[in-house]
Chain A
Amino acid sequence: MNRRSAEESIFKGLMGLSFLAILAALATIVGTVVWKGLPAMNWDMLTKTPSGGFYLGGSGGVLNAIVGSLYLAGGATVASSCLALPIVLGLNVYARRASRLVTFTRFSMDVLAGVPSIVFGAVGYVLMVALGLKASLLAGIIAVALLILPIMIKAMDEVVRLVPQEMAEASAALGATRLETAFLVVARQALPGLATAVLIAFGRGVGDAASVLFTAGFTDNIPDSLMSPAATLPLAVFFQLGSNLPEVQERAYAAALILMAMILIVSLVTRELSRRLSRHNVR
């Protein structure tokens, strides 16, 4: 009897330790970024683009990368929402429940979501060359949109699936077409979840570097059209960290702090938005 309870307590101890180790890893990551980033942070980082000699320690900031990342992730999110929403509503309203097509699509989205972002970068590059584009905001948006499409479809599907079948039936009984049911009833009921899905995808778009490495280019200017190259925050971190000059490395830490803050803000807004929008839902 004693041996059995001893085994139980040993494993309980190990479980507690493992869980704490994971939390500790999270804490050191956030801690490192804040601790290194805060001293290097200043107002110029947020409000100025790089001026001459920036990468040799000159003055300026990473506004180009902040705006570039927002444009890129924003454009990609809009583009993939336009595809994801009809697809998800189609799967849940138009197609028969649990039909082969639906099951297969869910499976293939799971698979597509597992494709590494560097592969999307390479495919984006192939597409870019095929379309005769140069490294530009547009090419970057295409690569990132491909990357976040399966993520968005999966997240939207999870919430649209939960909309009660009876609601769609009630809508049909009132004489609505499936199109009207899909966009006016089902999508409205799932709106908080849909908004969350869009923001999750946006967050992924902001943070990803490997997919834009080939496609978006990098520039010190704020992009003024879809055809001009765009800087991104993750790449600003990456490139400046590779410098030999401590002043420039400091900037990488500050840029990382900005990136981290953006991700945190997006995830907090996601939570708040989903809470607010769900007030008027039928439960």
Chain B
Amino acid sequence: MEDNSARLFNDRLIRRLILALIVVVNVLIVGIVLALCVRSWPILDGTPLGRLLFSTEWHPSTGKFGLLTFIVGTFAVTAGAMLLAVPPCLLSAIYLSEYAPRWIRTLSAPLIDLLAGIPSVIYGLWGVLVIVPLVQDRIAPLFGVKSTGYSVLAAAVVLAVMIVPVLVHISVEVMKAVPRELREASLSLGATRWETVKHVVLRKSRSGLFAAGVLATSRALGETMAVLMVAGNYVFALPRTPFDQAYPLPALIANNYGEMLSMPHYEAALMAAALVLLLIVLIFNVTSQAILLRFARA
């Protein structure tokens, strides 16, 4: 055996190092928030919070930085995406967890993984080539409106497809966690399969399903490139209908990085936008993780 004291010394040294790394990775999120706070301080310091969050005036050249247009844009496209995505994803998850034969389950897993792995820019390209013309030529005329196609609706459709993997994956996991015996008890009482799903499986897994929805919302809120490419990014008005353009927060940040050094406070305002986005996303994200953690314990 080689020198034992050296082995033990190494073990203790690495133990310390690893512990330090674990602590660092845990405070990383605090570091991110602080870094954004510091860089956006010139704006946070001078502007009342109400004016920053609830004013629609965005004139970087005169130093007016109201984020309301962008916050509303973010929530508009996200809400649209959730409305479009939740019903089909829930039904698909029920199908995959309760009805589908084994071969469909094994086949669908890599397909849904593929959907999760497709880069955001490709979703954006698909949006520009397929969804935007569809909205412009087919859907908007159906409602008797004129639209360029670059709209809340187009962004919502693209986002809806992007959050499918999160929604389906977590929902299936959550429903699979419902004990088999509960299903059997329900079936033996004469309930049909659908009644068992409705009254037992969904009831038992509703908090987990809710968490899946909240998590998907947080993903949709922060999605950048695809939304940037199809939402239209109109600064001067709030979207009133799904056919209007929207300008979500991530798009604002991504679009203006080139110009931010040219005007005073512009960079600080964009960093403040990133901070606001991060805090909104964190609220949703932490909520869903906390629910899922409790669900896993129960």
Binding site for B on A (CB under 8 A): 4-5, 7-8, 11-12, 14-19, 21-23, 25-26, 28-29, 32-33, 36, 83, 86-87, 89-91, 94-95, 101, 104-105, 107-112, 114-119, 121-123, 125-127, 146, 149, 153, 175, 177-180, 203-204, 206-210, 213-214, 234-235, 237-238, 241, 252-253, 256, 259-260, 263-264, 267, 271
**B residues in contact with A8, CB < 8 Å:** 192-195
Tell me the nearest residue of chain A to B125, going by C-beta: A256
Q: Is B115 an interface residue (CB 8 A)?
A: yes
Total inter-chain residue pairs, C-beta < 8 Å: 244
Chain A to chain B contacts (Cβ below 8 Å), 11 pairs: A19-B96, A108-B29, A177-B11, A209-B121, A234-B120, A234-B121, A241-B125, A256-B121, A259-B119, A259-B121, A260-B119
Chain B interface main SS type: helix
B126–A29 CB distance below 8 A: yes
Distance, CA A122 to CA B252, complexed state (A)? 12
- B263 close to A (CB within 8 Å): no
> Is A87 in contact with B25, judged by CB distance below 8 angstroms?
yes
Which chain A residues lie closer than 8 Å to B32 at the CB level?
A: 115, 119, 123
Q: How near does chain A come to B160, taking the closest CB pair, in angstroms?
A: 9
User: Considering only CB atoms and an 8 Å cut-off, how many residues of chain B contact the other chain?
Assistant: 82
Distance in angstroms between the alpha carbons of A21 and B111 in the assembled complex: 13
Provide the B126-163 mask, 1 if CB < 8 A to any CB of A, else 0: 10111000000000000000000000000000000100
Residues 157-183 of chain B, each 1 if its beta carbon lies under 8 Å from chain A, else 0 = 000010010001000000000000000
Known: A8-B194, A122-B36, A207-B120. A177 touches B7 (CB 8 A): yes
A114-B281, A119-B32 known; A91-B22 Cβ under 8 A: yes
Q: Which 10 A-B pairs have the closest CB atoms?
A: A116-B222, A207-B119, A90-B18, A18-B88, A15-B95, A114-B285, A177-B11, A210-B224, A8-B194, A122-B274
Give CA–CA (A238, B254) in the complex, Å: 12
Q: Which residues of A contact B39 (CB under 8 A)?
A: 126
Contact of B125 with A89 in the complex, beta carbons under 8 Å? no
Report whether A123 and B35 are in contact in the complex, using a CB–CB cutoff of 8 Å.
yes
Q: Contact: A28 with B224, CB < 8 Å? A: no
Q: Is B82 interfacial (CB 8 A cutoff)?
A: no
Chain B nearest CB from A5 CB (Å) reads 7
Chain A neighbourhood of B7, CB < 8 A: 177, 179-180
Beta-carbon contacts under 8 Å, B54-104 to A? 87-89, 91-92, 94-96, 99-100
Interchain nearest-CB distance for A208 vs B (Å): 7
Task: Collect the chain A residues with CB atoms within 8 Å of residue B215's CB.
Answer: 114
Closest to A90 in B: B18
By CB atoms of chain B within 10 A, which of A16, A207, A210 has the most? A210
CA distance A153 to B161 in the complex (A): 26
B298 adjacent to chain A (CB < 8 Å): no
Tell which of A18, A112, A208 has the most Cβ of chain B within 10 Å.
Answer: A18
Q: Collect the chain B residues with CB atoms within 8 Å of residue A260's CB.
A: 118-119, 122
Known: A107-B289, A116-B277, A117-B222. A33 touches B126 (CB 8 A): yes
- Whole-angstrom distance between the Cβ of B34 and the nearest chain A Cβ: 10
Given A7-B194, A260-B122, A115:B111 Cβ within 8 A: no
